[in-house]
Structure 1
């Protein structure tokens, strides 16, 4: 995107001098809704992890498989997608509404460009909306008028946390935040999550790579991107019942077919899982 010529739907006070998680992620997917500052951060991350873009693509494929499963096989008809980022191909609403055109989808992101761009793109979609809000303020988010209007917390909900919680620092208490969300969900709801992974004692060499990547994310411009252990990630699901195969590498969660090549080291350093509230 040309920093000097912002599209008319974007807020005039948008700060294009600071990178954002959503726009750097867009750059990693090869999108065009990012600025020079975001692309510079992305290039620094790529210098440390040349195949981190493959991780972003893999994360997107995982989201599509999970949303398809929840909308089709399980029959979930309302999705709350937190930290959703910018609209791109195979969004939650696109996948879910292929199975049921009247699935309600609420996207939430703190970045104003996501909200402005999303609303512009979805003006004619009566079952999807964008909310500009801070997902770490659980009570405020769940009381937001657009969330209350679209999401019925008396009926099962799919809560999506796809590549989001690894940007929440420990001092914010992501596990405590997730307990608040899970407590608010009705029985029969699902939580889908992916998170950067530090294998720690499971694989010392990959753990070293995870530490290098965390440094690249947190110290070279983006300011967040924390690699947590398997136990720490599992704690974010609280007491939910994990759907088989549990908390695993993304390509091991109900893949569409046999693997055609070995994964890059970066692709091993993210786990995903889906939990159900009894």
Structure 2
């Protein structure tokens, strides 16, 4: 590893030794999502919540897998149509199948990816996995503090903010309940990156209109709140408001099944797939 690269990476390891302080008695969002994708880095508290959620939504593991499939398509879209060669994956969670850097490198062998998370399990595993990778980095930082993220030496050392950046916010913003705060977070990230940068977002939806989908979304939201009190699913209109000023690609903001042409759908467009809204857009 080049000396400069080693120095840049070493600054991100300041909390790795704290991994022994991980609270195994409370579910972790990162471990829970990894569990839905078939991962092994979980504890009894995570498995218990997982089982409760699957009882409500048996298709949830398939939805998680399709969210990763959507992410792969969004990354390729940014590379192919947007000329993006560097990515900031915020709230990235644990390393899993179809990691962002693996997808990006298949599309562009020179691509760089910086993962950002402050979950101790994700930090320790991510830093260990990427310690010798010349294209991928893991920053221990809080995505709700964009200024702090960009000040992080791992981020500032890896990204060239004179060039477009692909920002990924996949299934994380529902953990930030305040709408004004979420809008500020997104605005701060987009103000820091140049024109031609992209944002890809997936977010659970709750219509709050008394419909069967609203009842279903509410039951999942309530169950998640047992472990994550700040969870807030948003209406499609509220999610659309987070994307103001972006030129949306493809079908725009749609549910997960609607992203794909009919002959490429793997989910019932009238079923659980409606729970998740996805979009990718370019900063003007």
2:4: which partner in 1?
none
User: Whole-Å Cα distance in 2 between the matches of residues 162 and 224 of structure 1?
Assistant: 17
| Structure 1 residue 10: Cα displacement | 8.0
Q: How does 1:176-187 map to 2 (within 5 A)?
A: 176-187=184-195
Equivalent position SS for 1:58:
helix
Extract unaligned runs of 5+ from structure 1: 1-7
> Residue by residue, what CA displacement relative to the aligned partner does 1:181-220 show, whole Å, maximum 9, x if unpaired?
111121000000000012344x81211211111111112x
C-alpha contact 1:242 1:275 (8 A) present in aligned 2: yes
CA contact (8 A) 2:31 2:41 kept: yes
Contact 1:62 1:251 in 2 (8 A): no
Greater displacement, 130-139 / 8-17: 8-17
Q: Which residue of 2 aligns with 1:233?
A: 239
Number of the residue aligned with 1:5: none
* Higher normalized helix content (fraction of residues): 2
Match for residue 275 of structure 2?
A: 269
Q: How many Å apart are 1:86 and its aligned residue?
A: 0.5
Q: Does 1:35 pair with 2:43?
A: yes
Mapping of residues 199-218 of structure 1, within 5 Å = 199-201=207-209, 204-218=211-225
Moved over 6 A (4+): none
Distance of aligned partners of 1:103 and 1:76 in 2 relative to their CA distance in 1, 3 Å threshold: same
Contact 1:64–1:92 (Cα < 8 Å) also in 2: yes
The 1:260–1:33 alpha-carbon spacing in structure 2 relative to 1, beyond 3 Å, is closer
- Normalised by the size of structure 2, how large is the TM-score? 0.88
> How many angstroms apart in 1 are the aligned matches of 2:179 and 2:279?
24
Between the aligned partners of 1:19 and 1:217, the Cα distance in structure 2 is 10
Distance 1:230 1:181, change over 3 A: same
Count of aligned positions: 269
Structure 1's 208 and 191: CA in aligned 2 closer, same or farther, altered over 3 A? same
Q: 1:84 aligns with which of 66, 77, 92?
A: 92
The two structures, once aligned, show a CA RMSD in angstroms of 2.1
Deviates more, 1:78-87 or 1:33-42: 33-42
Aligned counterpart, 2:68? 60
Equivalent position SS for 2:19: coil
Is this contact kept in 2: 1:77–1:102, CA < 8 A? yes
Deviation at 1:255, TM superposition (A): 4.7
Which residue does the alignment assign to 1:13? 21
1:155 equivalenced with 2:169 (yes/no): no
